Amino acid sequence: MSCPSDDPVPRETVEGTIKSVVYHNDENGYTVLHVEPPSNGFELARGREITIVGKAQAVWEGEDVKAEGQWVTDKVHGRQLKADNITCVAPKSIVGIERYLASGLIKGIGKVLAHRIVETFGTETLNVLEYQSARLREVPKLGKAKIAQIRESWHANSTMRENMIFGQTYGISIIKMTKIVRKYGPDAIAIIKANPYQLCRDIWGIGFATADRIALSVGIPKDSLLRARASLTYTLESEAEDGGHCWTFENDLLLHANELTEIPTEILGQALEEELESGHIIAESDPAAAGGEDPSWAERHDVTAPRKIYLKSFYWAERQTAAHVKRILGAPCSFKPIDAGKAVSWWEQKAGFTLANQQSTALERCLGNKFSIITGGPGVGKTTIIRALVDIYSMRKLKLVLAAPTGRAAKRMTESVGAPAQTIHRLLKWNPVTNKFTYDEENRYDADVFIFDETSMIDIKLAKELLSAIPDTAAVVWVGDTDQLPSVGAGSVRGDLIESGAVASARRDHIFRQDSSGLIVLNAHHVNAGEPLEVRQGDTDFYFMRCEDPIQCVQRAIDFMTTRIPRKFGLDPLADVQILTPMRRNLLGTENLNVELQKALNPSGDAVIRGGTMFRTGDRVMQLRNNYDKDVYNGDVGFVKAVDPEDRKLVVLFDGRPVTYEAADLDELVLAYAMTIHKSQGSEYPAVIVILHTQHYVMLQRNLLYTAITRGKKLVLLMGVPYAIDQAIKTNTVRERRTSLAERLSAR
């Protein structure tokens, strides 16, 4: 009896010319090539194309390739070389050179011109382009302008190729390397080698892990002060991004940085002092932390108070926000005081109904104070108060500004109040020339009253920008729901404003917007109170569907979004129905759901691929970061209007406005058929499908479920496991954010 062979699969080296690039992933370098072997090629591949798969740098048709790996047989694609090393060089044959030039690599050269150039110079073509470009005049029918374009493109490509090879060597994707070159220009490689950690600050999408890997690869010592300083900054940024904290205590900072890098705390301490001296981070003593309720305890007992460590941007955002609030509160209004009682009576007569006590009290508080905050859940009459304020101030012929953090929230505000509203970012008007907002403390907005909705979404940095642009003499009203999820960015601005007692506030909790059949509002308040959900038989606006199996959940969610809800309620699945889930990853996360929903709703057509994501014309997409140059912001949702697969470009419509995305910008977009509950803040949809499962256990919080339910305007379908829903309702441990805005506002 013979035994199975233990001999390893033999390795092969394959050489040839790239006939076509079947697939290339700019993120991870995964590539599929069809390669023509040379005329004297080996027996296995003679007379036919070779398929090579593996990771490679930027590749182009016509290049010569050398690949090392093992032959495998794919069930679908057949025999192919699975390569662990792919090296590409400029082509040497006439056919290869012509294909290389015609591939689109060099702007200005198409198939016809590529043929003429190669016909003129033969195998010397690439040498002519590199060293003797003046000879291009020898090519028939080639003008001066075209020659200049070819020269410029050839030089740029040579530089880019060098950068791409460097990036590939150190694990930087083509997309990210393109961004780096765009930022640093021809000095990109030198800058990266000198201080890879600079990438974390300058290039969106590159974190400490990537920069650290590069740094260690180029020989920066593990215990260097450069690495230590970078780890401190990264730790503070992580605290802000993951926990919403504006600062962290010094000891905690050093501990977390040590856990991250294994750098001794004494070196980290030295790095901290260097960072403090540079001004990148700022320290502030906290006597209260040493002595509990007694701020003077540390001084009286000769104890050094612990230090709060800030990133510079958060420190000044807190200080300036507090200063602007005090500035507004300390100045007289630009208009004569309004008799609140008379104004309320006038509006009730105009509207034809009498306000409830809570509503009239809240309205009078707004009219009688320079800066006021109204909070409350859905159906408690916040919109009615805003509408009354708009009518009263308009009657006095005052200049009003209405705004909200997101486009959807601004649109909803416009529709419900009957007055134009805009996003906060567009209100402030970004100036790409000066790289800052047009309206700021040196050029304040000319208006008498500012009313802002969905203010739970305003983080400390946006609050600073917003308040700096408001004139001393204006009145300010903030409206929102304190029970929703906190802002994605750091800070707890509205909560700190209320806690400080510096501004007038009124909480609304009596439900007015409710009828016998409406359960969305009622269940939102049940969740808020920690009570079980109410579900009724028959036609209603709130449904629950038990679904234990995650695969079945995915299938049912797709069925309801694409077919059953549109058919029963007459809604457009793309425009009107939104799936919400707590997380991005796992089977019930947005990443998987979006792939499956795209297959169901938009399965075919030309596509631009980034990483593993296909973007097609008609896709619903979401912006992931503030891009002031494009005037699009984190959470903005749009639809792909057009794709250009050749140049890998997209055109996305945001509220009817076209925005172009180059290949290097595509990592700012994700599909948005499904989105996280956090990303849905500030938005409202005719129908939402909310998925809650035990897979989401770590995310199950009362404010998460509350926020999800309140996104539905006409219909909410809650789908998942009853235990997960019960757990979310019971869990009300809101994580405290480390901020000092309330203290700054309380201080004289």
Find out whether 674 and 581 touch, Cβ atoms under 8 Å.
yes
Strand partners, 52: 33, 81
Two structure tokens written together for 146: 């075209």
Q: What are phi and psi of 654, to 5 degrees?
A: -110, 110
Quickly tell me which residue has 């990483």 as its tokens.
611
CA angle (578 as vertex; 577, 579 as ends), nearest 5: 130
Strand partners, 17: 36, 64
What confidence tens digit (pLDDT) does each residue in 567-599 have?
999 999 999 999 999 988 888 999 999 999 999
pLDDT of residue 9: 65
> Which residues does the chain have with pLDDT short of 50?
1-2, 4-5, 41-47, 290-293, 297-298, 300-303, 514-517
Q: How far apart are CA 152 and CA 129, in angstroms?
A: 11
Q: How far apart are CA 607 and CA 404, in angstroms?
A: 34
- Put residue 352 in one of left, alpha, beta given phi > 0 → left and psi -120 to 50 → alpha: left
Query: Which amino acid, 235?
Result: T
pLDDT of residue 111: 81
Strand partners, 372: 477, 504
Q: How far apart are CA 143 and CA 154, in angstroms?
A: 17
Q: How far apart are CA 413 and CA 420, in angstroms?
A: 8
Two structure tokens written together for 60: 């182009």
Two structure tokens written together for 549: 């199996």
What is the DSSP secondary structure assignment for residue 60, as one 8-state letter?
Answer: -
Q: How far apart are CA 203 and CA 208, in angstroms?
A: 11
What is the DSSP secondary structure assignment for residue 337, as one 8-state letter?
Answer: P
Q: How far apart are CA 80 and CA 698, in angstroms?
A: 43
All residues at 6 or more sequence positions from 19 whose CB lies less than 8 Å from its CB, including other chains = 34, 35, 36, 49, 61, 99
All residues at 6 or more sequence positions from 478 whose CB lies less than 8 Å from its CB, including other chains = 371, 372, 373, 374, 452, 455, 494, 497
Q: How far apart are CA 136 and CA 462, in angstroms?
A: 54
Distances in whole angstroms, Cα of residue 185 to Cα of each of 149, 163, 287? 19, 10, 47
- What stretches of 418-459 show up as alpha helix (H) in DSSP? 424-428
Find out whether 741 and 500 touch, Cβ atoms under 8 Å.
yes
pLDDT of residue 510: 60
Longest Cα pair distance anywhere in the chain, in angstroms? 105
Torsion of CA 352, 354, 359, 360, to 10 degrees: 100
Query: Which amino acid, 408?
Result: R
Helix or strand run (H / E) with residue 386 = helix 382-395
Strand partners, 30: 55
Two structure tokens written together for 496: 């700190």
Helix or strand run (H / E) with residue 607 = strand 607-610
pLDDT of residue 480: 86
Q: How far apart are CA 505 and CA 522, in angstroms?
A: 24
pLDDT of residue 65: 82
pLDDT of residue 45: 44
- Put residue 720 in one of left, alpha, beta given phi > 0 → left and psi -120 to 50 → alpha: left
Two structure tokens written together for 118: 């190669």
- Put residue 170 in one of left, alpha, beta given phi > 0 → left and psi -120 to 50 → alpha: alpha
